[in-house]
Structure 1
């Protein structure tokens, strides 16, 4: 069968598009799945729960979370937006002084899959700069929406970031978050995990703060009952380092 030059060109264009999609989106996504699998195993082997909080700081909920953690001698990991950190530097300072992790979560919460590469990279870098100026840890980075592209993946590696994924998502940023019982059962089955929560005062509705604080209390009680450790990312990293060495 004769194939003309036009057909060959279409084939090469199609192949190029497929290669671009794989490199730009699928390769980082596959890497993320691999990293999450390792993180889940690390938590399970250590019997560890890591409480993480995105999109803060905010005036009320961030402080209330900190007080609940401090009351129980627990360290959490907060991933702040640069745009919020500059508005609540006193909250950032207090959380840092209490010994909790402070990582960065971009400046304006752009989505890597829906933004131009240079726009998203600038947003990540600006967030890093604003949060670290206030005492945050440059290394600890939580990608917005859990999305990375080839550009943000390589940028993070070059900057020395630890991509701080999660293994359990209560969906607290939605109007109908998961029931407490489902989340506690998932922690129990996996013997730990990294929990994704958000420390915004009001979204998605006025019940958000009560939901988050109630879930934290439930996790604390489960950890005491099942002899699980509640750690920050830094503390989990220390366990991982000691086990490797």
Structure 2
């Protein structure tokens, strides 16, 4: 798929990471997710090519990401998402494989808005909770909930390819994730599982009426309310009490070609 995408992206004007970061950081943003097939992705890219740049670094536009999600012993963060709570938390370490740069990231959903906090750390610490990460996590958590959080440990690994688009006018960003693989880190017998042919497209903007959303509406593609890579990864690994609100999403993935 990566080679096919490279050809499709030739019609996009490239933008550097420095240029893209100067448009908007969107650490506080509205996110919309879409679960699409590879064939639908071709149509979406065609619609976006005039109004969006594609991120390019060292002549590459498709990059590899490796995330390790943290959770409490009882998977409380997963359960908050499964129950559809308006206020929920997601914690992870992220490794940008191509550049060997890592960040510890705290994402807090408050109603429709996502707030993101992060800091860079040595890449050899990827996938671990250190004293520094724990202090950072506890500080941000307390600012939202007013109490100390429970201890968290590595829960799930996700690895995937991503391309990033940036709107020419307002800095809206669109990420496209594919070749998604996950592994349950709390099961010593767990094997890597694949989300098969699924492509997860996500818009990040300051407005619900963003350009990419209008394009998706034009193509008849609806938003996916249950499309978290973390939750899907745990469900695919056989977590107890899985599926639930994700049944429709899993059925959709199985039907994709």
TM-score, scaled relative to structure 2: 0.29
Instruction: Report which of the two structures shows the higher radius of gyration computed on alpha carbons.
Output: 1
Kindly indicate whether structure 1 or structure 2 has the higher relative contact order, using CA contacts under 8 Å at least 6 residues apart.
Answer: 1
> Which is richer in helix?
1
